[in-house]
Structure 1
Amino acid sequence: MLNTLLPILLFAALLLAVIGAGKRFFMWRRGRAAQVDWLGGLLAMPKRYMVDLHHVVARDKYIANTHVATAGGFVLAAVLAIVVHGFGMHNRILGVALLGACALMFVGALFVAKRRLKPPSRLSKGPWMRLPKSLLMFSASFFIATLPVAGILPADFGGWILALVLAIGVAWGVSELFFGMTWGGPMKHAFAGALHLAWHRRAERFGGGRSTGLKALDLSNPNAPLGVEKPTDFTWNQLLGFDACVQCGKCEAACPAFAAGQPLNPKKLIQDMVVGLAGGTDAKFAGSPYPGKPVGEHSGGPHQPIVNGLVDADTLWSCTTCRACVEECPMMIEHVDAIVDMRRHLTLEKGATPNKGAEVLDNLIATDNPGGFNPGGRLNWAADLNLTLLSDKKNCDVLFWVGDGAFDMRNQRTLRAFVNVLKAANVDFAVLGLEERDSGDVARRLGDEATFQSLAKRNIATLGKYSFKRIVSCDPHSFHVLKNEYGALGGNYEVLHHSTFIAELIAAGKLNLGQHKGGSVTYHDPCYLGRYNGEYEAPRDVLRALGIEVKEMQRSGFRSRCCGGGGGAPITDIPGKQRIPDMRMVDIKETGAELVAVGCPQCTAMLEGVVEPRPQIKDIAELVADVLLEAPAAVAVKRVVEEVQ
């Protein structure tokens, strides 16, 4: 009886899975066209799964080992079950192999079940609570059904009653794990996730690569949508990526806006896009809601506007674009891309940038800087420094990109300190002076792609008139845009953050440094230097060269907490229960450090905005300038003069 029922159940489930796969694929294809490497992506998918995805999953050893056992056991058990029970190949060796796969899967499922006994708040509940039972049922049913094949029990063991019970267990298991993959349910992530890895919109992320620059809009095409208004305005592989979400909540736990009580939860945002793809409401969402916004009040469909349907505008404007969600996502979903795409529609089509957003964008258009300052004052901070203009010199080794910190009195101290460092090392450098425009970072993050591209093209045209080897900036946001986003518009340059450049100068022996005499120091990783560009060591190398032993915060490196200053967040200023920089200052105070080393003008502004008493904030350039001694060459000359005398 079992030999008759099992093939029917298996192939019926497989047929339904294939039908569901086709239906799901056509649902994704409602999105806009996207160029993908169809065959190459599929061939690369196993490696991307085993290496790139598991590189992220492995950060949590418990779930990594659990996933290897459960997923690995399931794939092997499913294939062998089809061979042994579907096609009737009752070979003893195959039977023993199937028993081993089922046992492996069962052990993994036990650990899944243990985790679900008291699940962390970030995990979605609802249908996910039944998954351990389905995994256990699938593995146990096939294990028992395979014992006769392996020669451990007689073929007629248990009779028709056991056969019926096993058939029910198999039916339960294959319903969840086979056609549940494509029709919806907890296992949907396995099917969508595999294809998401194959046709990822940022294939360059795999194999150890890094891809963080926003994709440019084609503003020359009058028929191209300016951003995303409805779910079908996303590219089809973005929709596929949303569908791959495993609802683990790691993005939720990492999000600074969610922690601050602002109306953003990256996990729910992705799930809302899935709801919009199929049509419906968010009433069945079984995870944490947006803070202050109950579940069940939002709905939408593939051709309906997202904002004020699926999500409120405040949800999108709460994002600091820190990429903590993207960094933690085991499915490698691009949350920030989606948020900025939707912001673009609100800004470009609706003119609905909140609070001071519209004023800042108007300032950028009128004065080339977000503060609306007179462009003629861009070099006032350096009136006594005798800086060389590149327009006079025409070529240099280093172009110092000053950025719009030139109009901020606090950041001017950092700029002056870095100039002193450059001069002490006898670096051949120059500045653009009044020819420099805003890099366009703020405009792009606020969704104003038109203003960004206008500023970028003007800067690229200016840079094209001169010859230089490198651009160095004290601002990670300018550094990132120049390095990673100007290339799509024709501007390709070697760009360094000032901490990286200072580390090079120290390593080359070009700076004569004393030792830091102050108190204990911690270092705050800027998002646009760390997560966006992978630079974590250079700032710490510089601090070590000053004799500083960094007291690391619990959230440091790639898990550093955002200061709250990115993505135009201080401009849109969406209220929450607390301020993000205040939360970061709590992290800082836990170290007991008396001073915070920073490498970003926005981080400096946000952290210095925290009410005292608090540790002192200093840029790395300031710390280096504080301990500069006479240059080695000057010391040698002085010795020669003294000997002659």
Structure 2
Amino acid sequence: MTASIAHALTGLFWLAALLLVAGLLRRSVLWRQGRPAAVDWPSLLAIPKRYFVDLHHVVARDPFIARAHVAVAGGAVAVLLLVALNYGLTLYWRWLDWGIVLFAALMFAGALLIRQRRQNPPARLSQGAWNRLPYSLLAFAAAMLLLMLLPAQPVAQLIAALALLLLVVGTAELVLGIGLGGPMKHAVAGLLHLAFHPRAERFSGERSTGLRPLDLDAGDYGVGKPADFAWNRLLSFDACVQCGKCEAACPAFAAGQPLNPKKLIQDMVVGMAGGSDAQFAGSPYPGKPLGQHHGAPDQPIVGQLIDADTLWSCTTCRACVQECPMLIEHVDAVVDLRRHVTLTRGEVPNKGGEALDNLQQTDTVGGFPVAVRYNWAIDLNVPVLQAGQQVDYLLLAGEGAFDMRYQRALRALVLILKHAGLSFAVLGSEERDCGDLARRLGDEATFQRLAKENIAQWKTLQFRHIITPDPHVFHCVKNEYPAFGGEFQVLHHSQLIAELLQQQRLRLKEVLPDASLTFHDPCYLGRYNGETTAPRAVLKGIGIKVVEMGRSGMTSRCCGWGGGASFTDIPGERRIPDMRMQDVRESGSSQVAVACPNCTAMLEGVVGDRPEVIELAELVAARLAD
């Protein structure tokens, strides 16, 4: 390499650095339009761990792209660091050039893999500028290889000049992409997102799935316009790489309802920066053409940037969050938008509004008299917990207690508890709804009232654990009540039954050989609480082999009830429970076990010839010895 080329590299490096800083400052101005949020500067030091462990733990689910990403990102970072050292500081040490050669070759190989993926891309990938990216990366890596390897001879100068041109093209993708919102903005925004993530506890090994409380007294009514999001949530939207893994996992999108979580995030980016969705290069919301929606930081989101039915299509199942390699929180955004619509406009579609009215007036979703909640247990002599009495377990039946079908499952659960000789009781007519549906539909005021009343009531009683067969009650009380002072030990009935079987406190009949079925994981038990083992341990404990569906465990497909979707009932091309029942059929099983009253209702609502739906407690009770 000649001295002139070395100096040209130095000049290009510092020009690129200045443009990079300018672009980052421009983007940060957009992020700072959002509401204040705490800034933990030391978390910048945690970026390497969060990148190489937490983020790549998700990316590694796709081994091909994981290898490509390691090669491209790792090679590029190493090249940039070495260029900064050797040419930015004008050291011009030849041995450092060989390091640049090594990592540029690694980057080139990774870019070839990305180009290969783009030759026949899955439908979930965005096109447009993202199709250009592999070539920009190849240009950058090839230019560095040529410049480092060319001899310092006049005949090589023309090639060196062409290599510098390639380097300018490749560098522009990064330095201009950040400020102008191109694909490579995710490189910087993604790293900052890892540092200032809205749910930093996710990186400490905790499951963080509870929604943030609104300060209603301070006038916090959710998000009505992009500037209502906290600044670090706006930053998180810019971290999206438009890989579409959320889109591929979304049950509403698969059902042809007007929701695509990837486009939802990109619409928030449009609203933050201002403009329309005409340039979006991915799959649109089903049934909604591109170019008809626009937004700005201080303009309403719902009705202008997105339609209301997009918002109400979400089942809050967290499949999108589970699959996102950039750890973006789609569901938080959806619920914050719903909160504003519900609290300020009162516009909840179909039976959603009726359900909220019932909760406000009767403390039940269906508007039932609370006195009849435990009528199904009259002949079982289930004790009602009174002040001054003490039990080990407080049983919360939830809204399933009003459903004649699910009452069979509740009766089975009571039989199991009695068979094991447990000390338990119910609240009887004093039990009110936990508020989960209200919160997911955006009625934070009703949720907080119910939560505070429940907590105050339960604190007057003496019990060690709460047990419930409803994953929504389980999640709500376990993860969301603590924000209001409600710290309780909560068990899903599958967890308790698994313990009883392990402790051999349940006497079982001789089991039939080769019994098998498939199991449907409830979203609020699996993805929300990480519990996929206990139900399978129960089935194994009673001699049943689980035949897994293609989508099971943490990748289970939603039944379609969650988030109030069964109440808002946004039409699509097909029904989500029908799709889930098809998953059951494809497993070859004639029976599907469930562990949630809502999943039971949705799957049993599938019409026509279908596998039998059996609740977990019913299976166990049927095998209890007399």
The offset of 1:515, in angstroms, is: 4.8
Tell me the CA shift for residue 519 of structure 1.
5.5
The question of whether the paired residues in 1 share the 8 Å contact of 2:388 and 2:462 is answered with no
| One-letter code aligned to 2:13 | L
Q: 1:534 to 1:408 in 2, by over 3 A?
A: same
1:515–1:139: structure 2 CA closer, same or farther, 3 Å change rule? farther
- TM-score (ref. length: structure 1): 0.95
Asked if the contact 1:472/1:495 (under 8 Å) is kept, the reply is yes
Aligned position for 1:574? 570
Q: Is the 8 A contact 1:519 1:593 kept in 2?
A: no
Identify which of 249, 256, 260 aligns with 2:255: 260
In the alignment, which residue of structure 1 is the partner of 2:166? Answer: 169
How far 1:72 moved relative to its partner?
0.2
Report the counterpart of residue 365 of structure 2 in structure 1.
370
Instruction: Give the equivalent residue in structure 1 for 2:224.
Output: 229
| Partner of residue 53, structure 2 | 51
Preserved CA contact (<8 Å) 2:591 2:611: yes
* CA–CA separation in structure 2 for the residues paired with 1:437 and 1:40: 44
After TM superposition, give the deviation of residue 394 of structure 1 in Å: 2.2
Tell me the distance in 1 between the aligned counterparts of 2:452 and 2:252: 33
Alpha-carbon separation, structure 2, partners of 1:225 and 1:368 = 24
Deviation by residue 1:425-446 (Cα, 9 ceiling, x = unmatched): 0001111111111000000000
Q: Which residue of 1 aligns with 2:188?
A: 191
Amino acid at match of 2:151: P
Match of 1:403 among 393, 398, 407: 398
- The answer to whether the 8 A contact 1:14-1:179 is kept is no
Q: Which amino acid aligns with 2:136?
A: S
Q: What is the match of residue 146 of structure 1?
A: 148
Map of 1:11 onto structure 2 = 14
**Is 2:309 the partner of 1:307?**
no
Q: TM-score, normalised by structure 2?
A: 0.98
- Which deviations, in whole Å up to 9, do the C-alpha atoms of 1:583-617 show, x marking residues without a partner? 00110001111110000000000000001311111
1:28 is matched with which residue?
31
Q: For 1:257-292, what per-residue CA distance to the aligned partner results, in whole angstroms no more than 9, with x for missing partners?
A: 000000000000000000000000000000000000
Question: Among 401, 413, 416, which residue is 2:411 paired with?
Answer: 416
Q: Report the alpha carbon displacement of residue 580 of structure 1 after superposing the two structures with TM.
A: 0.2
CA distance in 2, matches of 1:453, 1:340: 15
Q: Which amino acid aligns with 1:562?
A: C
Counterparts of 1:97 and 1:511, CA distance in 2 = 65
Aligned to 1:125: 127
Q: Could you tell me which of 100, 107, 119 is aligned with 1:105?
A: 107
Amino acid at match of 1:7: T
Local SS of the residue matching 1:15: helix
> Is 1:545 matched up with 2:548?
no
Q: CA deviation at 1:482?
A: 0.4
Match of 1:201 in 2: 198
Q: State which of 89, 92, 97 in structure 2 corresponds to 1:90.
A: 92
**Contact persistence 2:469–2:493 (CA under 8 A):** yes
Determine if contact 1:381/1:412 at 8 Å carries over to the other structure. Answer: yes
Shift of 1:392: 5.8
Distance in 2 separating the partners of 1:354 and 1:449: 17
Secondary structure of 2:391's match? strand
Number of equivalences: 622
Question: Quick one: distance in 2 between partners of 1:209 and 1:392?
Answer: 35
For residues 317 and 368 of structure 1, the distance between their equivalents in structure 2, rounded to whole angstroms, comes to 23
Identity rate, percent:
60
Whether the aligned pair in 1 keeps the contact of 2:387 and 2:460 (CA below 8 Å) is no
Please identify, of 181-190 and 335-344, the stretch whose mean Cα deviation from structure 2 is larger. 181-190
Q: Is the partner of 1:567 in helix, strand or coil? A: helix
Structure 2 letter corresponding to 1:131: L
**8 Å CA contact retained: 2:146, 2:160:** no
C-alpha separation in 1, matches of 2:499 and 2:515:
25
Kindly indicate whether residue 325 of structure 2 is the aligned counterpart of residue 316 of structure 1: no
Equivalent residue, structure 2, for 1:622: 618
List per-residue Cα deviations over 1:464-519 (Å, max 9, x = no partner): 10121111100000000000000001101110100011000111111111255495
1:561 paired with 2:564, answer no
1:78 matched residue in structure 2: 80
Cα deviation, residue 156, structure 1: 2.6
- Residue 295 (1) aligns with residue 290 (2): yes
Equivalent of residue 388 in structure 1, options 369, 383, 395: 383
Measure how far apart 1:209 and its partner are: 1.7
SS at match of 1:387: coil
| SS of aligned partner of 1:220 | helix
For residue 590 of structure 2, what is the aligned residue in structure 1?
Answer: 594
CA contact (8 A) 2:436 2:472 kept: yes
Provide the alpha-carbon RMSD of the alignment.
1.2
Secondary structure in structure 2 of the residue aligned to 1:269: helix
* 1:545-577: CA deviation from partner (whole Å, max 9, x where unpaired): 111111100000111000001000010000000
Partner of 1:150: none
Letter of the 2:276 counterpart: T
> 441, 444, 456: which one pairs with 1:446?
441
- Which amino acid counterpart does residue 291 of structure 1 have in structure 2? P
Shift of 1:89: 2.1
2:420 matched residue in structure 1: 425
Gaps of 5+ in 2: none
- What is the SS of the residue equivalent to 1:470? strand
Q: Does structure 2 conserve the Cα–Cα contact (< 8 Å) formed by 1:10 and 1:174?
A: no
Structure 1 contact 230–302 (Cα < 8 Å) conserved: yes
| Separation in structure 2 between the aligned mates of residue 247 and residue 543 of structure 1, nearest angstrom | 39
- 2: distance between equivalents of 1:158 and 1:213? 65
2:152 aligns with one of 155, 167, 170: 155
Question: For residue 368 of structure 2, what is the amino acid of its counterpart?
Answer: F
Q: In the alignment, is the contact (CA less than 8 A) between 2:515 and 2:543 conserved in 1?
A: no
What is the match of residue 530 of structure 1? 526
1:528 counterpart SS class: coil
CA contact (8 A) 1:250 1:325 kept: yes
Residue type at the aligned position of 2:595: G
Deviation at 1:404, TM superposition (A): 1.2
Shift of 1:629: 0.8
Distance in 2 (CA, whole Å) between partners of 1:515 and 1:357 is 46
Q: Which deviates more, 498-507 or 81-90? A: 81-90
Find the aligned partners of 2:511 and 2:214 in 1 and give their Cα distance: 47
CA distance in 2, matches of 1:600, 1:157: 76
Distance 1:52 1:140 in 2: 31
Which residue identity is paired with 2:11? I
